[in-house]
Amino acid sequence: MPCLLAFLALIVPRFVIVVLWFLTDWFAGIFDTLLWPILGFVFLPTSLLWYTAVHNWFGGNWGFWQGVVLVLAIMTDMSPASKRRKKN
């Protein structure tokens, strides 16, 4: 199940965010205002998921590998390949 959730997070991170928001308390206590999750949902959904994963799984402790995965998540969110469409 965690592998399936990770796969879905890469394919449809906004769907995963909505499911986590409505069906779990995954985002509880991480953000002071609603502004940051909304901005993350719109602009950097994979990074938002990783940021909350660090807070939930690692107690908010940012180490080297957490930073490396955050950079990869940002690169995934900002990738031009995610917006490229094949025109036939």
**CA 34/CA 49 separation, integer angstroms:** 15
What is the arithmetic mean of pLDDT over 69-82?
84
Amino acid at 43: F
Calculate the alpha carbon distances from 83 to 19, 25, 77, 86 in Å. Answer: 23, 31, 10, 10
Domain ranges of the chain: 2-79
Contact 16, 6 (CB under 8 A): no
Per-residue pLDDT of 25-75, as tens digits, reads 999 999 999 999 999 998 999 999 999 999 999 999 999 999 999 999 999
